[in-house]
Amino acid sequence: MAYLTIQLAQGKKSQIPFDGDLIRVGRSSRNDVHLASDPSLSRFHAEFQHEGDDYYVRDAGSRNGTSLNGKQLTERKLLKPGDRITLGETVIFFASPGETSAVELTDDLSTNAPSRNTVVLPLADIISSNVTSPGASQEITGQTTPQSRAFAVIARAANELLAHRPMSETFEVILDMVFEALSPDRGTIMLLEGDPRVLRSQVVRDARSSSEGQIQISRTIADTVVKQQQSVLIQDARTDERFAAQESIQIQGIHSALCVPLWNNREVIGLLYVDTLGIPGRFQRDDLRLLTLLANLAAVKIENVRLFEGEQKRREMEQELQAAGKIQRRLLPTEDPDIPNYQITGYNLPCKGVGGDYFDFLPLEGNRLGLAIGDVSGKGMAAALLMATVQASFRAHAAAGVEVTELIHRLNLAVERNTMSNKFMTFFYGELEPASGRLVYTNAGHNPPLLFRADGSVEELTGGGMILGVMEDAKYTSHETVLRPNDVLVLFSDGITESQNENEEQFEEPRLIEVVKSCMSETAQEIRGRLEDAVGAFVGKAPQFDDITLMVVKHI
């Protein structure tokens, strides 16, 4: 079976089996892989297809595109092992059938009933049983009973796990205690990760270096432990009828094994597995109980470390975003331009503290005014850095007095040569002559600005060329129109029209047109406010998925 390993922008990974003919990926909940946390994805972004022995990927008409090993997809492509597929800020790796990780879940377990060599105990029964301190008689005689041994191990474990450690070190400390208490040959900790949640190995230990770190665990046992919340002891795998035909058991030489849930007192977050390769029957019921109680302590500690590290990262990110947000806001216009006979205003609301949307007003020679609006693919810090680069390049070239098409050509080169292949930018630039109302512009793949005429008609400002950063030799053309008295020009990013409500419906252009037409007699600032209010009322309590940028120009 092939696998897709999904790596989110935050660094989180999950692995899903490719066990069907089609896997759809996108932001909508109707996809097989629902990635709502990546706002740079389209609702239906890409598709993975399985035909015979071959696997393919294709872009599903997404807004920001899909790349395979750094090259933009324009058609369906055959996948090879290790291929890297990039969708917005999400990276997916393809693993073909036969590839394995340090720990593999196998499907070769017989469905026969458990034999006398296998013990399955409910987690609740073990957790509810008390582990008390040794009695007075035990202290006098010096005898070591299973109860006193369990108490000593649990007490030491509780003490060891009090100290704060990084997650990777915490895993090692847990295995240290397990190996000291039970002396297994091999062991692993697996956690449920991703969406959908799958078991992924976090640490593997092989005391005898017997299998180069490769451990195979029956998927049936894993499901019994994780889904049914039961602890499993296999006292002698080679004589257990359920394992007699299990190839992985025979190959690895497993004699005895324990597999228990990692229960954090609320839910199972994974499993803890150990086995022996030499002596049959080494593990007994008391060992199963002891490992289950150790796993309970370990799961609580793992959850606490997760929460601590998550909160620490969140605070660090918040501080970084606040600082970056302040810097970015200084790059955008802080006040509306004062142009006789015109009202001009702009607005930007990033969805992540910082964003990739850009707008600008730039005074030019001859009393002209440059109007720019753009949208970088992706969101967050990476998009904000590209936006800052474009802003610096735009202002430098505009100040040099180059014509509209030459300016866009130079911006395209700057984006194409200084960014990764999956980053690009839509951009609209126009130069307004206030005295005549003449607007010379070019549109590099941006949402066409809408020119609302005083007579009620609406014109789209299209034409120009392709988005910036895709082709070095892209050609651009200029076009022109005239703003007459009482005309209103609205420039916007797709964060306006693609804003979603709780039913995943989009605001869309017809609603924008309706709102503007209803308030044409008002000021540019009031029209902008009406649009902001309309989008906010439409979205309601749904989260903001994209940066929102809006400019309004009114000839009065």
pLDDT tens, position by position, 458-481: 999 999 999 998 888 899 999 999
Residues 29-46 as b/e (b if ≥16 CB within 10 A, e otherwise) read eebebbbebbbbbbbbbb
Average pLDDT over residues 533-537: 96
- Tokens, residue 427: 């951009």
Q: What secondary structure letter does DSSP report for 164?
A: -
The pLDDT confidence band at residue 249, using thresholds 50, 70 and 90, is: low
For the cut 80, the answer to whether the pLDDT of residue 384 exceeds it is no
Q: What is the pLDDT of residue 47?
A: 95
The pLDDT confidence band at residue 357, using thresholds 50, 70 and 90, is: confident
Query: In 114-163, where does DSSP find H-type helix?
Result: 123-128, 136-141, 146-160
Q: Which of 18, 16, 27, 24 is nearest to 88 (CA)?
A: 27
Express the helix, strand and coil content of the chain in percent, nearest 5 each. Answer: 30, 30, 40
Chain segment 137-167, per-residue pLDDT in tens:
444 344 556 666 777 888 888 888 887 788 8
Q: What is the pLDDT of residue 310?
A: 78
Contact 358, 346 (CB under 8 A): no
Q: CA angle at residue 122 from 121 to 125, to 5 degrees?
A: 100
CA distance 211 to 198: 23
Cα-based distances in Å from 261 to 126, 179, 250: 11, 17, 25
The pLDDT confidence band at residue 14, using thresholds 50, 70 and 90, is: low
Beta pairing partners, 254: none
- For 193-197, 290-294, 381-385, 531-535, which range has the lowest pLDDT when averaged over its residues? 381-385
Protein fold of 332-555: Phosphatase 2c; domain 1 (3.60.40)
Average pLDDT over residues 269-298: 88
Q: Which of 376, 420, 400 is nearest to 547 (CA)?
A: 376
Q: What is the pLDDT of residue 506?
A: 94
Average pLDDT over residues 407-420: 86
Q: Which of 40, 36, 37, 47 is nearest to 10 (CA)?
A: 37
CA distance 102 to 268: 22
Beta pairing partners, 204: 188
CA distance 452 to 154: 74
- Tokens, residue 94: 């393809």
Residue type, 508: E
Q: What is the pLDDT of residue 523?
A: 97
- For 239-243, 245-249, 369-373, which range has the lowest pLDDT when averaged over its residues? 245-249
For the cut 80, the answer to whether the pLDDT of residue 367 exceeds it is yes
Burial class (CB in 10 A: 0-12, 13-18, 19+), 160: middle
- For 41-45, 116-120, 131-135, 190-194, which range has the lowest pLDDT when averaged over its residues? 131-135
For the cut 50, the answer to whether the pLDDT of residue 36 exceeds it is yes
For the cut 80, the answer to whether the pLDDT of residue 418 exceeds it is no
When the pLDDT of each residue in the chain is averaged and rounded to a whole number, the result is 84
- Tokens, residue 333: 């216009």
**331 versus 462: which is more confidently predicted?**
462
Cα-based distances in Å from 344 to 336, 340, 441, 491: 6, 10, 17, 11
Q: Where are the domains of the chain?
A: 3-95, 118-123+146-307, 332-555
Q: Which secondary structure element, helix H or strand E, spans residue 342, and what is its range?
A: strand 342-349
Is the domain defined by 118-123+146-307 classed in CATH 3.30.450.40?
yes
The pLDDT confidence band at residue 251, using thresholds 50, 70 and 90, is: very low
118-123+146-307 and 332-555 share one CATH topology?
no
Q: What is the pLDDT of residue 136?
A: 42
The answer to whether the peptide bond before residue 448 is cis (omega within 30 degrees of 0) is no
> What CATH architecture does domain 3-95 belong to?
Sandwich (2.60)
CA distance 479 to 481: 7
The answer to whether the peptide bond before residue 166 is cis (omega within 30 degrees of 0) is no
- Tokens, residue 422: 């999956």
Q: What secondary structure letter does DSSP report for 99?
A: -
Average pLDDT over residues 520-533: 97
Q: CA 145, 147, 149, 151: dihedral to nearest 10 degrees?
A: -150
Contact 57, 47 (CB under 8 A): yes
Query: In 485-554, where does DSSP find H-type helix?
Result: 494-497, 508-517, 524-539
**255 versus 442: which is more confidently predicted?**
442
CA distance 428 to 124: 63
